[in-house]
Amino acid sequence: MRRCAALLLLLTAPLASQTTWIVDASGGPGAQFTDIQAAVDAAADGDRILVRAGSYAPFQIDGKGLAVLGEDNVLLRGTGQLHVSNTAPGQDVVLTDLDLDASPPIFSNHGATLCRGRLLMERVTLRLAGSSTRFEGCADLRFSELETQAGIAVTNSTATITDSRLLAGVLTLFPPPALQVSDSRVTISNSSVSGQSQFNRAGPSSAIAMSGASVLTLTDDGTHLIAAGGSQAGPYSGISGSGTVVRDPNVTIQGSSGGPAVDLGIQEIVRAIPCLSVRPEPARSTIELALTGATGEAYAVFFGLPAAPFELPGIGGTIGIGAPLASFLGVFGGGPVQQTYGIGPGLPPGFQLCWQAIASDSGERWHVSAPATYARTR
């Protein structure tokens, strides 16, 4: 732990010059703005924006790295767009604790486009109807504790989805799937993905639709479900389309009305993949880590800073952590491995930490978990 503390002090020292702006809809003490967009426009690359509880219009970030961190009960409402675009490598955008309850037209522009820097969305809720939130041309998307009610679409991107709940679109005759993956690499860990059935009478109701040269990696602790929604129009696959699915045996996929779990046009590979979950407790002073894997597998958990996704020969999965420190290692027994981390008060808001595990099965094959990324908010 001393090595971790020394590393964090070293890495946070250059952040002292960054400015923190405060947004308060009621204009409370210490606030510089009553509107998030005005704060975004005034902020310099790398600044932090703290948003107090209240109702605000959605906002757009273009060409700069910012952290927009909400307190509890930050509601985004109105016909504007929540959109991030045109960031360069190293320009990270962090969005946390936001509830988007907009009233968009059937085709909206929420999402992100051409982001070469990391986009982390943590504890963000997307309460939309009609069309999916779209992410296109993004190098490093990380969603943690994301909730959607109209699905998301990922195109030409690399994405990680952890500890999340994705629902397909509602209130439309042709609801999109909960997740659309096109020419992308997407890893889903410890998350539920559900097709829509309540209003679906003619449209597709698969949980996940794949196309192009997409690779979907799935791992779970055995408590979540990827399931197509019911339909009067006939059977639907849990995962439809084309591409490659690599999944852990703990992952449960269901079709509807007699449909298959996975379309025949998709290459399916089943192998042991460690499942890592990292969540802050309510006071945000500690992190609760849980790691699940096949009994008898050797594992190691690493701790460090997030890095641009890359792959290593001989190791399955995408690595998303840089300059890691070995945190702990062992052999899986009959249940999850649990660990608690204290988060010191010296970390500035918006600072990102990352954990990732690697495990070896009996065949001496190695596979990494999804990177679990956390942003300090308070």
* Local confidence band at 186 (pLDDT 50, 70, 90 cut-offs): very high
Reported as a pLDDT band with limits 50, 70 and 90, residue 7 is very low
Q: Are 207 and 182 in contact (CB under 8 A)?
A: no
Domains of the chain, CATH where assigned: 53-270 (no CATH), 275-375 (2.60.40.10)
Cα gap 327→311, rounded to integer Å = 21
Q: Exposure of 7 by Cβ count < 10 A (0-12 exposed, 13-18 middle, 19+ buried)?
A: middle
pLDDT at site 9: 40
Q: What's the burial of 127, exposed, middle or buried (CB within 10 Å: 0-12/13-18/19+)?
A: middle
d(CA 87, CA 141): 12
Give the per-residue pLDDT at 4. 42
For residues 52-59, average pLDDT: 95
Over the chain, what is the mean pLDDT? Answer: 86
Q: pLDDT tier at 204 (50, 70, 90 boundaries)?
A: low
Count the Cβ atoms, other than its own, within 10 Å of residue 269.
Answer: 11
Q: Which amino acid, residue 326?
A: A
| pLDDT the model gives residue 6 | 37
What pLDDT digit, counting tens, does each position of 274-320 carry?
999 998 876 667 888 999 998 888 999 998 999 999 988 888 889 99
Who contacts 112 (Cβ-Cβ below 8 Å, separation ≥6)? 83, 84, 85, 93, 119, 134, 135, 136, 138, 141
Q: Edge-to-edge strands of the sheet including 275-280?
A: 275-280, 286-292, 337-342
Burial of 367 (0-12, 13-18, 19+ CB in 10 A): buried
Residue type, 143: F
Low-confidence winner among 114-123, 173-182, 216-225, 328-337 (lowest mean pLDDT): 173-182
Query: Alpha carbon of 181 to those of 207, 254, 287, 327: distances in Å?
Result: 11, 18, 30, 33
Determine the pLDDT at residue 3.
37
pLDDT above 60 (res 96):
yes
Instruction: Provide the token pair at 313.
Output: 């020969």
DSSP state of 148: E
Q: Which of 81-95, 325-339, 348-362 has the highest mean pLDDT?
A: 81-95
Please tell me the predicted confidence (pLDDT) of residue 370.
95
